[in-house]
A and B are shown apart, each in its own frame.
Chain A
Amino acid sequence: MSDLLARLSAVPYRPHVVTDAANEDYDRQLREFVAYLKQPGLIPSTSDPNEYLQALSPSKNSLSFLYLLRFQIQQAQKRTKRDLPDSIQPGGNLWNLAVRFLRSFDPIQIRYSLDEWRQLVDLVASAAVTSSKAVLGLKATRDALERLSPSGIFTSTHLLLVKLALHSSAYTYALPITDQLLCHFPTDTEHVHHEYFLCSEQAPNTALVTDASGISAKLSYRDHLQYFLYSAMIYMALKKWTQASRCLNVVIASPTANAVSKIMVEAYKKWILANLLGQGKIPSTPKMISPHVIRVYQSLARPYISLAEAFEKGDLYKMSNEIDLGQAIWQADKNTGLVSQLFEAFDKFVIVKLGRTFSALTIADVLQRTSSSPKCPREIEEFVASLVMSNSMRASLSHSPDDNGTTMLRLSLGSQTHPFYREEHIRAKLMRAKTALDTIAQGVTQTDQTLELSQENLQFLAKSQKWSVSAEKVVSSGDIGGGDIDEDLMGDGQ
């Protein structure tokens, strides 16, 4: 038994010097170790694996820990003849071990056994869901995914995460993951570039982004559409309209081949509402959507479009008419919540727009110009105050000194905050854009590489094409020279 423990804990340590030779060595050792762990009957069924588990550190001996844990879960399943024995439920012994592992595993080691890792995450998540503690599963999944940091690769675990977040209504927990820019999708490509070892830290993406790595379950187009739609729904629940619209853009602009997914249509409906709520207008759709897809959207989302038209025109009467008419539709599409927020957004945009026409006016005048619902001046004043406080508009309210209850609203131009905060705001924005650009630039380089779009390669291809074309020409001109009788008849007697 101690032999076994010694073997299990004898994980090759990572080389400190990062050289190709060291990496290669490390890579080989890890592969051998995984092969060793995989052999059946490694752990005698008589012994108690718990002891091993206690003795192993999940961060140092991640691979052994993972295999032992899975072995034990399997034992428990066999014993109880249930897929989810009690000990794996939240609070159980195995649950605690699993969560501890998912928080502290070594991402480099785990790359050699992603399939097992993923199944453990799935199991933890479903255990949490069945015991209706989805939020615990969400946290564990989030930690696991953050720790693995599959930099920009979309995996089935991402989808699992957003599903759990929606299931448990704990939206903010999912944000660290949904805020990351995804660029890559696992492919079943045959020619993987083996310039990098799985364990090297420099460019892990190209090696990971294959189906063979087991980083993700088999994906279908529905999965990434769902992921972005669900992410958008998380943002919408948190009223982060810009991000929501960004995610929905990905869905509605998804590449298609002769078919439009229903998920995309749903996304288009939500896209309209999110943009109305966030910007008060419908921006133009991304340019890469092909026209026939747009036509499909427009024909299937007609009530939404006419609602948006009424909203954009500032026609309150028509808008509430449209909302009343479409009750059944909003209900069926589960968009009632979003639609009901339109009234407040309408008032908000009307008042913000007042800033372009007026520099000062009384609250009574504001009331008269918004007139969305019969409100008293007090209510509208509170509403305006909340808009000012939430930085939606830049204005100030002042009560008149004499006690006749009039309040003057002074509006200043622009929606930005105090100049002192402006600089900070711009700085933060720039920093965010810089990170995003870095990620994208990296993604572009990698994609170029995998798609073989380097300058030299293209030149080579062009050249070889020229050769083949000229070769064809030689052949075809030879044909004509052979004297086709039809050609002669049709020609002008040359």
Chain B
Amino acid sequence: MDLLQSDMTDAPSFPYATQTAAIGGMDTETLNGNSTISTGPFVRVDDPPKFELDSYIANYTGRTKFNRLYLIGTCSTYLSVEALKAAIAEAKSGKDLSRYERAVQALSEVAPHDAEAVVDREWAERLQKVVKSETDRLEHELRGYKNNLIKESIRMGNEDLGQHYHQTGDLGSAFKAYSRMRDFCTTTSHIASMLFKIITVSIERGDWLSVQSNVHRLRGLQSKPDDEHSKNSPKIWAALGLAQLNSGNYLEAATSFLATEPTLGDSYNEVLSSNDVAVYGGLCALASMDRNDLQRRVLDNNSFRNFLELEPHIRRAISFFCNSKFRPCLEILEAYRADYLLDIHLQRHVQTLYTRIRTKSIQQYIVPFNRVSLDSMANIFVLGNSATQSNQTDLNSTFVQELIGLIQDGTLDSRIDLESHVLVSSQGDKRIQVQEAALDSLENYVNEAHLRLIRANIVRAGLEVRPLADDRRAKLEERGGKRSAIGNLFSRVPGMKP
């Protein structure tokens, strides 16, 4: 029975090498075609971030704390030692041996001579033994409950076991143990808590499909007690938003985050904080919505305002965008790029989100213009010091190349005039375009009709291509043998006959 179930629950954990996915909690889905997770950090951030590590990490509880510290430690050159030391301390307070070893390993790479960069063998062995005996004890207890056939006990036994696995870092087993609880849940609140546990594990594994399906189960469940509903709802929305963000559906993610009630507070700190909701929601909205929607659904949204107050710069960036002040908006985002690159969920999406926001800004900027000088555009969209701006309108400058790319992939309907250095919006002659389209379709029609007519007549004449053996017209050979075949013309002269 046990074996059978574990086989069944094995299924959802398919594409994820659990341990590698757990490093930094990133999904192994190669979203940007980048699969460097197993070999090294995804990015290397050299700029100092704006946040203070201690106060930042204090926002979180549970396993995400270590994951975030470890990510910062491996990605940021500025904070690596500090973050890794904190990570080691965090790992030592827990029961997960592998993460302790990983953290020590990482620290020994950045600071080989540090006293903490050596594995504490004695502690590790002790921990191993403790974990082993605990596992045995829990499994034994569970077996006992199963023999007694008391549903509630079995559920709790599985829950304890899952929790234990989760704490020791065996996410696959934890997922299975939690999933096994399903059959023994008797009340909706039990189911809800089980699903939340599964979601938490799935988020850590980066199994976003499972997160989404379980979130939908959870939403289908919401029915009776109002207080519990209001308690769970923000968490559900936040988890859904997270899954959508990670699968690249930014508009849906923005909608989910915007629907998250401010009552979330710090109740979901084992996954994300309210600040995160503000940042994720704000950036996704900025990247996927137009100005009207931003104004209406984000800035005028009373419940989301509470989140935005936590991250005022996001609010400022959005309102700058809505007021067509693109440079300050982009500057704010650029200033916080280091922060977001060190965020466990945002890291892989920062570049895409920023590019989208930038493209949208450029599109918005040129809307009112018939001709706009490249200089004035460079003033707004080329960030950085103004000394390098003198040659920003050359063909080879990165800004012009960016524009060319946007024109070529059809995002901008304009053309560049390198003589007077302006961007000219295309005003094709609609009349001519329509005429040309009509002529084209006429020609296509004629060609196709002709082709079909020829085909019909070829078939009728029995001239379709067929294997030599069954030439339908072979029977004519006897009848029309006297006629000379055209193919022989160049080899011999057709015979004459009276």
Contacts and interface: CB of A to CB of B under 8 A. Distances in A.
Interface of A: 40, 70, 73-74, 77, 83-84, 115, 119, 122-123, 125-126, 129-130, 156, 159-160, 163, 181-189, 211, 217-225, 246, 249-250, 253-261, 264, 286, 288, 355-362, 365, 368, 408, 410-411, 413-414, 416, 422, 426, 429-430, 433, 436-437, 440, 443-444, 447, 450-451
Contacts of A129: 489-490
A416 B432 contact: yes
Contact of A183 (B454, B459, B484): B454
Contacts of B419: 360-362, 408, 410
Contact of B453 (A125, A183, A188): A183
A359 B417 CA distance: 5
Contacts of B443: 429, 433
Contacts of B460: 185, 187, 189, 447, 450-451
6 contacts: A160-B489, A188-B461, A256-B465, A355-B415, A360-B420, A410-B419
B311 to A, nearest CB: 39
Given A187-B461, A358-B417, A359-B424, 15 more contacts: A125-B489, A183-B453, A187-B462, A217-B483, A218-B473, A218-B483, A219-B461, A219-B463, A256-B464, A257-B465, A360-B417, A413-B428, A430-B439, A430-B442, A447-B453
Contacts of B407: 356-357
A299 to B, nearest CB: 17
Interface string B407-442: 110000001111110001010110010011001001
B457 A221 contact: no
Contacts of A447: 453, 456-457, 460
Contacts of A182: 454
B484 A123 contact: no
Contact of A119 (B446, B447, B455, B496): B496
Contact of B465 (A74, A187, A221): A221
B458 interface: yes
Contacts of A356: 407-408, 415
B324 to A, nearest CB: 25
Interface in B149-171: none
Contact of A414 (B415, B432, B446, B463): B432
B466 A183 contact: no
Given A357-B416, A362-B418, A220 B454 contact: no
A221 B466 contact: yes
B449 A440 contact: yes
A94 B439 CA distance: 50
Given A74-B496, A255-B458, A255-B459, A163 B490 contact: yes
Interface in B174-208: none
B51 to A, nearest CB: 42
Contacts of A40: 498
B448 interface: yes
A249 B455 contact: no
Interface residues of B, number: 60
Nearest to A188: B476
A261 B465 contact: yes
B228 interface: no
A261 to B, nearest CB: 5
B395 interface: yes
A437 B465 CA distance: 27
Contacts of A159: 486
B455 A288 contact: yes
Nearest to B474: A220
B446 A224 contact: no
A211 B446 CA distance: 28
B487 interface: yes
Contacts of A361: 395, 416-419
Contacts of B404: 357
B465 A264 contact: yes
Contact of B451 (A130, A250, A411): A250
A221 B39 CA distance: 61
Given A122-B484, A259-B465, A426-B439, A365 B418 contact: yes
A433 B455 contact: no
B450 interface: yes
Contact of A123 (B420, B485, B494, B498): B494
Contacts of B492: 83
Contact of B485 (A189, A218, A429): A218
B473 to A, nearest CB: 7
Contacts of A246: 447
Contacts of A357: 404, 407-408, 415-416
B15 interface: no
B466 A249 contact: no
Contact of A429 (B426, B439, B459): B439
Give the most central of B436, B443, B457: most A CB within 10 Å: B457
A447 B460 CA distance: 9
Contact of B487 (A123, A222, A259, A288): A222
Given A129-B490, A451-B460, A426 B467 contact: no
Contact of A255 (B435, B447, B464, B483): B464
Contact of A365 (B395, B459, B476, B480): B395
B348 to A, nearest CB: 28
Given A125-B489, A160-B486, A357-B408, A254 B446 contact: no
A223 B455 contact: no
B364 to A, nearest CB: 21
A238 B415 CA distance: 35
A205 to B, nearest CB: 11
A444 B453 CA distance: 7
B476 A286 contact: no
B493 interface: yes
Contacts of B146: none
B465 A225 contact: yes
Given A185-B460, A221-B463, A414-B428, A156 B453 contact: no
Give the most central of B449, B484, B486: most A CB within 10 Å: B486
Nearest to A227: B486
Contacts of A220: 463, 471, 473
A139 to B, nearest CB: 17
Interface in B77-111: none
B472 to A, nearest CB: 9
B458 A185 contact: yes
B452 interface: yes
Contacts of B451: 249-250, 253, 286, 288
Contact of A156 (B417, B420, B477, B486): B486
B463 A185 contact: yes
Contacts of A219: 461, 463, 473
A447 B496 CA distance: 35
B461 A440 contact: no
A433 B408 contact: no
Contact of B450 (A70, A181, A211, A413): A181
B484 A126 contact: no
Contacts of A254: 455, 458, 464-465
Given A126-B493, A184-B457, A224-B463, A359 B415 contact: yes
B416 A188 contact: no
Given A260-B465, A408-B419, A368 B395 contact: yes
Contact of B435 (A258, A408, A413, A426): A426
